[in-house]
Amino acid sequence: MNILNGSKTLVLCVDRDNDIGEKAGLKTPIIGREAGISAATKLALEDAEDSDVNAIFEAVRIHDKLNASEEGSAVEIALICGDKNVGIDSDRKIGKELDAVLSNTKSDSAILVTDGAEDEWILPLIQSRMKIDSVRRVVVRQSEPLESTFYVIKKLFEDPKFTHTFLVPIGLILFLLAISLLLQISDKAMGIILAFIGIYILLKGIGRENVMMEFADTLKQSLYSGRLSFVTYICAIVLIITGTFQGIAGSWAYYTNMDPEIGESLLVGMVFTEYAIWWYMGAALAPLIGKMIHMLIEGEKIVRHWAILFSVMASGLILWGGSKSIILLSEGNYPVGYQVLFLSLLGAVIISLIGVKISWYMKTTLADGEKERGIETEET
């Protein structure tokens, strides 16, 4: 090992995944031009396609160029390695080896030479110990696009946000396709898949794409805490599944018997809504009712939940009445269609007012009770 205590500029070559140690069996840090050439030669003999070979020879070239062009300045070359398990342990090892190199060479600045974008992740680690004048990335021309693309794809698959956003829906779609092909119901499965994609895009557009993950977390917490809401969540899931199949069956039966001159997409959607809406409303009400029962058991006051409960019921009535009215109007039954629409809207308004009235009454009663307790405390 050649050590120059007067070195000021360090040409530093970094092998983050320790190919030098794993393939060539060499220990690092390696300091000096001849030692670097020897290390590169041994690595090339073990694996001529390893990109670290090019990086080491580039470091030697830069070292020679600086020595020739900057007369009177001291230049040294060093090779440090991390660990095959790239991560915290690898970066810590690089930090220790860099400290050893700096204590021997007394360098003030460095020129960093790497074999790809992955090694440049340790740039802040080196900058915390010394000044970096330049970074030289060495990639074989023929493999640069392939290496860069591979690295980008690798980092994307390691990113939790990417995997949760894109891989989960894609995996679910492929799973549904596989099941449909096995059961020979691919035509119906495509409708379910398109519905799933539409719902996901809708949730993504309004910023609620994590609603299913949040529901799963809530379900898990309810199970661990032994609450009644766990049972109601299971009921909600069963109701959603039942309602979906009920809607698909009803809309499919209507589609096979409908007049081809009538607009297909809108009417099929309305039939699906008519058949499935009350199942979906039950699914929405089940967790809410479970939470209200749990609050009653715990002795908590129920205020705003009443308004939510009746609002959900009113919304269900409006959706059912609207879909039923459109179906009747498309069939030419105008009096009954208008009557169903009017009565459903009127009923929805009355139900909403009942919910608001109950919520207001509970809020007023709670406020009066707190005032009475406050007066009794003052008199005492």
Q: Find all residues with CB under 8 Å of 284, minimum gap 6, and list them.
A: 236, 312, 316
Q: Is the pLDDT of residue 294 over 80?
A: no
Residue 302 belongs to some domain of the structure: no
100 or 367, which is more confident: 100
Interaxial angle between packed helices 168-183 and 186-205, expressed in degrees from 0 to 180 and rounded to the nearest 10: 160
Residue 122 belongs to some domain of the structure: yes
Tell me the pLDDT of the chain averaged across its residues.
Answer: 76
Determine which of 1-10, 205-214, 303-312, 315-324 has the lowest per-residue pLDDT on average: 1-10
Angle at 248 between CA 242 and CA 249, to 5 degrees: 90
Q: Is the pLDDT of residue 321 over 60?
A: yes
Task: For residue range 110-151, list pLDDT tens digits in order.
Answer: 888 887 655 557 788 888 888 888 888 776 654 555 556 666
Residue 258 belongs to some domain of the structure: no
Task: For residue range 20-39, list pLDDT tens digits in order.
Answer: 888 888 888 888 888 889 88
Residue 220 belongs to some domain of the structure: no
Residue 168 belongs to some domain of the structure: no
Question: What's the mean pLDDT in 354-377?
Answer: 68
pLDDT at position 115 is 75
Number of domain units in the chain: 1
Instruction: Quote the CA–CA distance of 264 and 277 in Å, as a whole number.
Output: 19
90 or 299, which is more confident: 90
The three state secondary structure string of the chain is: CCCCCCCCEEEEEEECCCHHHHHHCCCCCEECHHHHHHHHHHHHHHCCCCHHHHHHHHHHHHHHHHHHHCCCCCEEEEEEECCCCCCHHHHHHHHHHHHHHHHHHCCCEEEEEECCCCHHHHHHHHHCCCEEEEEEECCCHHHHHHHHHHHHHHHHHHCHHHHHHHHHHHHHHHHHHHHHHHHCCHHHHHHHHHHHHHHHHHHHHCCCCCHHHHHHHHHHHHHHHCCCHHHHHHHHHHHHHHHHHHHHHHHHHHHHHCCCCCCHHHHHHHHHHHHHHHHHHHHHHHHHHHHHHHHHHCCCCCCHHHHHHHHHHHHHHHHHHHHHHHHHHHCCCHHHHHHHHHHHHHHHHHHHHHHHHHHHHHHHHHHHHHHHHHHHHHHC
Question: What's the mean pLDDT in 322-350?
Answer: 87
Instruction: Find the domain containing 81 and state its range.
Output: 9-149
Residue 233 belongs to some domain of the structure: no
Task: For residue range 183-215, list pLDDT tens digits in order.
Answer: 666 666 666 666 667 666 766 666 655 655 665
pLDDT at position 346 is 93
For the purposes of burial, counting CB atoms within 10 Å of the CB of 272, is it exposed (0-12), middle (13-18) or buried (19 or more)? buried
Residue 56 belongs to some domain of the structure: yes
Residue 48 belongs to some domain of the structure: yes
